[in-house]
Amino acid sequence: MLRRLLPIVLLSLAALAGCAEDAAPADWMGEARAAHARADEALEREDRGAAREALEAFFEAEVPGRVAKEDARVVRQDVAFRLSRLALEAGEADAALRWADEGLNEGRGRDVFTANLLVARGRALEAKGEAVEAAAAYHDALRINDALLDALFEEDDAE
């Protein structure tokens, strides 16, 4: 349940943080939430094709120019991660790798969005039998996760 709610919560936070004052970015964020909702509904019906189509349509749509670059990156990376997972679940390692790389091409941050894509990339490479490359992707994801955990512990110590 939490996994299904996480994209909605993250998209809502991003909308509040940078897009609320402008209709085009707010509409785009609403379209992202709607694409995730359509994918969730399709998955409940066990229709992976419709889930993939909903997410792909959003990913392929143009990002309005007024959407902050960082907001666009994390939203598109979240969608690419879901598409990569769907491809992996279908046994389509090449498609999973392509979606992970598409998401990473949006940019890299020291955040959960980039880490998730690196894990997805590692899983796709592992499924293709490319163990060394998979290990490198997993290592990069672990480094980001370590930094995130360190930051959390530092915040706790400061309080």
Nearest-5° Cα angle at 63, 113 to 93: 45
pTM here is 0.81
Q: In this structure, is the dihedral angle defined by the CA atoms of residues 54, 12, 102 and 136, taken in order, positive or negative?
A: negative
pLDDT in tens, 114-149: 999 999 999 999 999 999 999 999 999 999 999 998
The whole-number average pLDDT for the span 13-30 is: 64
DSSP labels, 18-36: IITT-HHHHHHHHHHHHHH
pLDDT in tens, 65-113: 899 999 999 999 999 999 999 999 999 999 999 999 999 999 999 999 9
pLDDT at 6: 53
pLDDT at 18: 46
**Domain CATH for 89:** 1.25.40.10
Assign 153 a pLDDT band (cuts: 50, 70, 90): confident
Please say if the pLDDT value at position 22 is more than 60. no
Distance of alpha carbon 127 from alpha carbon 94, whole angstroms: 9
pLDDT in tens, 24-66: 888 999 999 999 999 999 999 999 999 999 999 999 999 998 9
Q: Domain limits at 56?
A: 2-158
Residue owning tokens 């790798």: 97
Phi-psi region of 46 (alpha: psi -120 to 50; beta: other; left: phi over 0): left
Instruction: Name the domain count of the chain.
Output: 1
